Amino acid sequence: MNDVENIEIYYFKYYPYVIDGEAILRAIKYGKSRSITDATLEGEENKYLHIKFSDGRCNIKINLNTINLKRIDDTYLYKVYCDNPEEPLKPLALYTEHGFMRLYKPAVTKYITLMIDGILMHQTIRLTPIEDAERKVSLLSVKKGHLVLDVCTGLGYTAIAARRRGARVYTIEVSRHVLILASHNPYSRQLEDNMIHIINNDAVDAIKLLKDNVFHRIIHDPPRFSIAGELYSEDFYTELYRVLRPGGILLHYVGKPLRSRGRGYGPIVRGVIERLRRVGFTSTKYYEDVGVVIARKKGHKILL
């Protein structure tokens, strides 16, 4: 089935030679450590750091005089340049038109999150980013054979969670820089799956290229309203409604914005629900514990 028209699919390729700053510092302090990736590190304080990846293709011994240990941060991930012992490590961080982006390793979990201008883009306290993605696709009842639209890929955790349930996924991400960072994240590796199709385009433009009544489920996980207000607009919700199958379900992440005193869930959540209803969605409900609005497209389900 041709689900998209005149749209380019982004080719995702995982880069395996990455280590975390915590592993570097532990190896230097204790003599040996293991990265969250498939690398083993051996070190001797003030002398060397030896990094070995399990595939045997990247094995590098670094003179510690060539790196500034004071600048190694245990919350960062570092790209390893296997053939350049003079400049072997580069922090995975980018200055972009969308802000300063980097991969961030929280102290409370091994799972990596995306940080933009100091703001984390994933759950890290009550749930890991992976657990949060699994909870969303579970709440949405994604099943084998479903066609799922995932708006705002990020590191791809919800797309991967939907694929694990047997769905075929189209996922939209506006930032090429975010996808570059994802390609260095070991927990994004499953984005290489040929049943996950990445559209590197502005969601407002990309969704107009999708056919009517295509998707069984939609996961809409935009940045906060103040950053991407167009993804909360009635026009965009009209497009979401158009591409969703009759009987299909939308999950819209809105977070937990501050309530207005004495007025329910506050203006952002109320506005989302009101606009979704205006374009035709029914059964709209806000799940405060998860920070999402669930809505259904009216009409009988189209059988697989």
The pLDDT tens digits for 203-237 are 999 999 999 999 999 999 998 777 777 999 999 99
Rounded CA separation 169/239 (Å): 18
The pLDDT of residue 68 is 84
pLDDT value at 6 more than 70: no
pLDDT tens profile 71-105: 999 999 999 999 887 889 999 999 988 889 999 99
Residue 303 confidence (pLDDT): 46
Q: How far apart are CA 174 and CA 201, in angstroms?
A: 5
Residue 185 has pLDDT above 80, yes or no: yes
Rounded to whole angstroms, the Cα distance separating 193 from 162 reads: 12
Better-predicted residue by pLDDT, 30 or 266: 30
What the chain holds in terms of domains, given with CATH numbers, is 18-80 (no CATH), 129-297 (3.40.50.150)
Output the pTM of the full model.
0.91
Lowest mean pLDDT among 24-28, 97-101, 174-178: 97-101
The predicted pLDDT at position 304 comes to 41
**How far is the C-alpha of 152 from the C-alpha of 296, rounded, in Å?**
20
The residue written with tokens 């570097």 in the block is 24
Phi, psi of 18 (to 5 degrees): -135, 145
Q: Residue 11: which residues within 8 A CB-CB, separation 6 or more?
A: none
Mean pLDDT throughout 141-165?
97
- The vertex-205 CA angle with 177 and 210, nearest 5°, equals 110
